[in-house]
Amino acid sequence: MPPAPDLVTQSAPLMNILLFLPLAVALVILIGRKLLGVNVCVFLAVASSAICLLCAIMNLGVVGSETIRLMPFLILDGGKLLNIGIDVLHDGQSAGMMFIVTLIGFLVQVFSVKYMEEDDAKPRYFGALSLFLFSMTGIVLADNLVMMFVFWELVGLSSFLLIGHWFQKPSAAEASKKAFLTNRIGDFGFMIGILLLFGVNHGDVTFAGLKESLLMGPLKATSEGQGWLMTAAVLCLFMGAVGKSAQMPLHVWLPDAMEGPTPVSALIHAATMVAAGVYMLVRISFLVAASEMGATWIAGIGGITALMAALMATQQGDIKRILAYSTLSQLGYMVMAVGLVGMGGEAMGGNAGHPAMFHLYTHAFFKAMLFLGAGAVIYSCHHEQDIWKMGGLAKHMPVTTFTFAVGTAALIGVPGLSGFVSKEAILGVAWEECKWLFAAGAFTAMLTAFYMTRLFIVAFLGKARSDSSSHAMEVRLPMLVPLLVLAFLSVFSAYHFMEAPLKAMAVHGHGEGHYTVMGISIAALLIGVIAAFVIYRGREKDPLNIKLFANKFYFDEVYAVLIKVFQDGLAWLVTGVEHAVVDGLVARLPAAMVAKVGQKARLLQAGQLQGYTFLLGVGVLLAIYVIVFVLPGVGH
Amino acid sequence: MSSLEIIIFIPFLAALAIWLGAPARLTAVVASTVNLLWVIVLAVRFPAFKSATDLAFVNKHVVLDNPAIAFAVGADGVSMIMALLTVLVTFAAIWQIVDKPSMYHISSLLISGGALGAFLCTDLFFIYAFHEVALIPTFLMIAIHGRAEKEQRLAVAWKTTIYLGAGSLVLLAGLVWAVIEFSGGGKLTFDLVALRAQAASSPLPAAAQAPLFFLLLVGFGTLVSLFPFHSWAAPAYATAPTPVAMLHSGVLKKFGLYGLFRIALPLLPSGAQVPWVQQALLLMLLGNILVVGLVTLHQKRLDDMLANSSVMHMGYLFLGLAAGTEIAVKGSMLLMFAHGVSIALLFAICGRMRNQLGTLEMAKLGGIGSHAPFLTVVFAFGAFASIGLPGLANFAGEVMIFMGAFANGNSSSTLIPAQGLTALHWTVILALWGVVISAVYMLRGYRAIFQGTPQTGLFMSDPASGQWLPLVLLAAVLLAVGCFPSLLLDLIQAPLVPGAIP
């Protein structure tokens, strides 16, 4: 579908600013940070994200879709042989997602100005944040899978830089490496998926091209004749999402990523980057719908992640880790929603609204809010993160406590708040498609209410249990404003006045069964909250002690063994074999020659130098001899 | 006299001048700068100058009539890219601080001149001869100035000499066979352009192409450290003085690939697709990627790790050869350039670390990022480029190679047959796992050396401002080509695979 020319000229400059302004800021900070000074760097980063937010707001309410080429990338033969560009797909889904990314990005940068005040490496921090905004924008705007992969890896890089911001600390350095490498495993599958589609669809991996091809092109033939290939492609692409959105079994990097500064956790490891996997799956939801088996797997993995992560969250003590497991669990919900919608064979995508996108959108606000709230708490408690060493914060930090309570209420789905509406949408689809997953989802909802209430009671209510929490003070305005804005959105983001411009996010009416679903989820909410109150009110330490959950089902321990055996052990073995066999057999003859010729060379008593030149000289002389004396004879 | 002839002889003349007593560093720097700028100018003007045969700046001096040998120069797009790579890495290598300037600079200039000659000549005899000329200083520098005890460096030098000498002889046999095969009945000619024309107009049957292709594969492949003929390479690079390691692994080694893509492929376009050759090639390149990849993972020292990684990454270029489609072959050209720049950058930093720290054992290092932020950033550029991070040059080449194995462009049909994936596709998938392996060892190395708490007693400082230039230049080139691959792709618009759709 060729885009209308007037539309192109209108939005191309906006798109250019959205994508390239943060990159320009990152490069300026990289090159000129010494020259500009710390304050200018910080100002540039915050100002540029404000401009991007304005551009994103101006983009809202887009009708239809258009493709704009910002830059050529891999072009062969004028695009006839290979045509992959940095092309923007400008539609409701990307416009809505851009609003989320730039708004939270801006708020987090404002928050960071105060939070990171005493950090020595502020330019590096803000530069990396700008690089992240650039990369994330690229994922959101991408119109083809290769471009998405490019920026997919770049968010991996910026995440690596930000988790490892305090790289002198061994745990932070390890966590950044773990995050990058775990994502690389996901990207391994992602790339295979892209290549399969590239092959099947004759080199066209644009979303529009794939969609068209599925209707009446090579993909249609493939999905009818070679279903396995379609399923393989979908599951391989899904593997990318498993890495980036930290689904089982590649979830292990996300809790460790909490080693990064807390505002980074809010932006990247809660609201936006980790949601990229879900965003990508929604972009290709028409492909998911074409593969029954693929959709089932996606829904299953999502459901398992939602449930297991919620179980792990119930026994954590670190405030950020509780939120991290909660993020895993909520991402599981979204992934499950993609699978469920695909199982229904109903390709929603695009402007129609998708429950996964809807939950991504509401979750982004309340989870960013919760992380920034945790950041405010950690800041006030002098970097104490253990909730059992907090307590009584409500008295010292009333505004933070209020916003945290709002965020908690939204996350656990108190009716009337945004989280309730979007969770209902997902549970509604689950009710229709698969009762098992509905049960898992409802049970997860109960666990969510339980662990979040536990967190709130232990950290904010009761008496202070350490010096750091008894001396905590309310944070200053630059940190409170982002909290209040996000608290407002946590309540109202699912209301009509907010979601109307974000058409792609909104989902309305999911048929019958609605009242049953709603009843079950409100019951789950009540059970979870009451149980937490009964168990945790007024406690000094955790009365429950479930080793399996506290130790996260021993995933890390098992992986450590697997890496030792299958990676390091194999490397050791192969190195040994290589030395023995290849070097031994292939090089034995040369080695023997070395000894022989070496002796001869020494006999010449002219040192080693001549030896080498002699040997080579023989080659050249032989060549000349053959050419001058032998070949002319052959010619005749 | 063609510009190309001057470019080839400038390094030789500069080496001669230094030998005769000219100030070593000044002469070398001036010569390499002039060459760098000149080649850039030629690359910019190349599209306007190239002829119908896709050659530009042609010149020819006949040496022998029968067989026809001429000192003939001429650049097509690929030679232009290789020349750019050569002058870029030469510039950076010469800029390195060294303890014996004249000896080092003479050898660097000779390697550079030899490589330029090999890439810019169009006569097989001179292509071969220039490469041999460039090899001699490589061996000598490893033997005399290698970074190891005398016994050990002599052993390494000998091993390298024997392997490369044997590889060159196999190669010579293959080239002579090719000359006889494609001279077209009349008198023999070493003119590559004429040989290519003959191969295009009356190609050999595919089955007959196979043995000759395989011979050339082994000959050229040994020079590129193709598994299992690779075991000379890692010790050679780990032992060689820094400028030599940069020039050989970055530039001179690419000669073997240049030969495969520009001599073997045009003359024997079906050679790599004959089943037994393809199977052998796929197995060997998997040896490079997986076996050497795991060996790289096992290394404990930075120089050993980089040296092995350079061997491993050659597998991806052979994958481009095995795929043999226009997209994959053009991707290989990009990757050859990108790999040369990134490995030269990494060896340059590694050399500086060896001089300052005295040890490259990763377990003993740590926290250098705190003292030397500039070096950390440029090392990260090189490391992330070499593990294929998008936005840096290597990714563009790698992804084109992978894509080329799955589809031959927009217009033609899929390369995935109805009954399932082919051996080539499975190889690509295993090669993609190799990308994960490279990320593991590179990030482990980065973590061990640059992150963490600084080790007491080990101090590493950023270089003085004058020493930044070559490192920044190489990093900037990686970024520029990574973001705008068309900078190089536009030079190779003409089809590189015979019979491909133009």
> How do residues A24-43 score in pLDDT, each as one tens digit?
999 999 888 888 888 888 89
Inter-chain residue contact A196 with B406, CB threshold 8 Å: yes
Model pLDDT, residue A635:
44
Give residue A351's pLDDT band: very low, low, confident or very high (50, 70, 90): very low
Q: Is the pLDDT of residue B68 over 90?
A: no
Give residue B428's pLDDT band: very low, low, confident or very high (50, 70, 90): very high
Structure tokens that stand for A521 in this block: 């989820």
Inter-chain residue contact B162 with A594, CB threshold 8 Å: yes
Alpha helices (H) along A284-354:
285-289, 292-313, 319-343
Proportion of chain B above pLDDT 70, given as a percent: 97
Q: Is the pLDDT of residue B205 over 70?
A: yes
* Chain A, nearest residue to B137 by Cα: A613
DSSP state, residue B203: P
Question: What is the pTM assigned to this prediction?
Answer: 0.90
Please give the average per-residue pLDDT across A316-329, as a whole number: 91
Chain B residues within an 8 Å CB radius of A145: none
Of A82, A157, A225, the CB nearest to B327: A82
Give residue B502's pLDDT band: very low, low, confident or very high (50, 70, 90): very low
* Chain B, nearest residue to A176 by Cα: B447
Give residue A8's pLDDT band: very low, low, confident or very high (50, 70, 90): very low
Q: Is the pLDDT of residue B123 over 50?
A: yes
Model pLDDT, residue A81:
84
Please give the average per-residue pLDDT across A396-408, as a whole number: 89
Indicate if the alpha-carbon torsion angle B73, B79, B83, B86 is positive or negative.
negative
Q: Is the pLDDT of residue A353 over 80?
A: no
Query: C-alpha angle with apex A593: A588 to A598, nearest 5 degrees?
Result: 130
Model pLDDT, residue B13:
92
Asked whether A79 and A486 are in contact (CB, 8 A), the reply is no
The C-alpha of A609 sits at a distance from chain B's nearest C-alpha, in angstroms, of 7
The structure tokens 């400038």 sit at B10
Model pLDDT, residue A31:
87
Q: Is the pLDDT of residue A634 over 60?
A: no
Structure tokens that stand for A155 in this block: 């968010």
Nearest-CA neighbor of B47 among B91, B80, B16? B80
Chain B residues within an 8 Å CB radius of A173: 447, 451-452
Residues 6+ apart with CB under 8 A from A197: A145, A205, A210, A219, A233, A237
For chain B, the domains span 274-502
Please give the average per-residue pLDDT across A355-366, as a whole number: 88
Q: Is the pLDDT of residue B461 over 90?
A: no
Of A168, A199, A635, the CB nearest to B416: A199
- By the CB < 8 Å criterion, does B128 face chain A? yes
Please give the average per-residue pLDDT across A267-293, as a whole number: 89
Model pLDDT, residue A349:
44
Asked whether A61 and A92 are in contact (CB, 8 A), the reply is no
Indicate if the alpha-carbon torsion angle A355, A357, A358, A363 is positive or negative.
positive
- Rounded to the nearest integer, the mean pLDDT of chain B is 88
Question: What does the buried/exposed string (b/e) look like for B425-460 if buried means 16 or more CB atoms within 10 Å of the residue's CB?
Answer: bebbbbbbebbbbbbbbbbbbbbbbbbbebeeebeb
Count interface pairs A-B at CB distance under 8 A. Answer: 234
Q: Is the pLDDT of residue B398 over 70?
A: yes
Indicate if the alpha-carbon torsion angle A174, A179, A184, A189 is positive or negative.
positive
Chain B residues within an 8 Å CB radius of A613: 136, 140
Interface list for B 249-288 with A (CB within 8 A)? none
Burial zone of B464 (CB within 10 Å; 0-12 exposed, 13-18 middle, 19+ buried): exposed
Q: What was the ipTM of the complex prediction?
A: 0.92
Alpha helices (H) along B324-388:
326-357, 368-371, 373-386
The pLDDT tens digits of the residues spanning B467-481 come to: 888 999 999 999 999
- Weakest mean pLDDT among A231-245, A260-274, A604-618: A604-618
Q: Is the pLDDT of residue B113 over 90?
A: yes
Q: Alpha-carbon distance B373 to B356, whole Å? A: 15
Q: How far is CA B241 from CA A33, A387, B124, B244, in A?
A: 34, 56, 30, 5
- Rounded to the nearest integer, the mean pLDDT of chain A is 83
Give residue A620's pLDDT band: very low, low, confident or very high (50, 70, 90): low
Of A154, A198, A570, the CB nearest to B403: A198
The pLDDT tens digits of the residues spanning B91-108 come to: 999 988 777 778 889 999
Inter-chain residue contact A188 with B486, CB threshold 8 Å: no
